[in-house]
Amino acid sequence: MSGTSKHLLDTEDVQERETAVFAAPTDYKRVKHLKKFHKKKGNEQLWLIKLPRNLDPEKIKSLPSNFSDPEQLVPIEGKIQYTIGEDKTQKGGPGSSNLSLLVPDEGRELLKISGHGRSLQFDKVLNVSEVVQIPEVDYKKFAVPRSNVVKVEGLVTRHFASGYGPESEGDKQEDRKSKKHKKHSDNDSHTRKKSKKDKKK
């Protein structure tokens, strides 16, 4: 085994031994005022609520329990209004979400995906979105009236696209006249030839 191949094998072993360390996102905000909740029971649900960056979770005092409507207003004091609704990418009933809850391990120093041998999935994934007020626009004020282009008379088409030619009535009539003239001339020459043959006989 050469030295280069051995070096490559050693680096691969080191990469396999390295464990990924969890790092919180840059915009992560830890909420300390929330109380600890017990393990999920049979009659309880686990919800994941996605909030905008400019919304403080402490301002949310209550949430609607029925999400039959696609979007409902969230009771928050202030000028900005927010709506809440189920995440369209996570709909499909309980257990259909592909997101899981990270729970602390026994030493409470690391996080793990599953708890007690099973994955803790969310029963509902909700989105809180800011309501943007779009002002009404009076389109009649901004609409520009249509003006017809002035037609120039006496123009004659000299050049046509490939596959096309003059389609005016005058040109068609001239073509018809020329065709009729050719037919008459052909018939006259044919009768003359017949008369010459008869004379020879």
pLDDT at 49: 85
Question: Which residues have CB under 8 Å from 87's CB, separation 6+?
Answer: 50, 125, 126, 127
Q: Which amino acid is at 100?
A: S
| Separation of alpha carbons 102 and 115, rounded Å | 9
Question: Which residues have CB under 8 Å from 100's CB, separation 6+?
Answer: 113, 114, 119, 120, 121, 122
Phi first, then psi, for residue 69 (nearest 5°) are -80, 145
| Separation of alpha carbons 18 and 24, rounded Å | 19
Collapsed DSSP state (helix, strand, coil) of residue 110: coil
Q: Is residue 48 part of a domain?
A: yes
pLDDT in tens, the chain (201 residues): 555 555 555 555 555 556 667 777 777 777 666 556 666 667 777 788 888 888 888 788 888 777 777 788 887 777 788 888 887 776 555 555 677 777 777 776 777 776 555 667 777 888 888 888 888 888 888 888 888 888 888 888 888 888 777 764 455 556 655 655 555 555 555 555 555 555 555
Strand 124-130 to 47-50 pairing = parallel
Tokens coding 98: 């592909």
CA atoms within 13 A on the CB side of 184: 6
Structural domain count of the chain: 1
Q: Is residue 109 part of a domain?
A: yes
| Separation of alpha carbons 134 and 140, rounded Å | 18
pLDDT at 169: 43
Q: Is residue 76 part of a domain?
A: yes
State pTM to two decimals. Answer: 0.46
Asked if 100 contacts 119 with a C-beta cutoff of 8 angstroms, the reply is: yes
Per the structure, the complete domain to which residue 58 belongs is given by 42-133
Q: Is residue 98 part of a domain?
A: yes
pLDDT at 65: 75
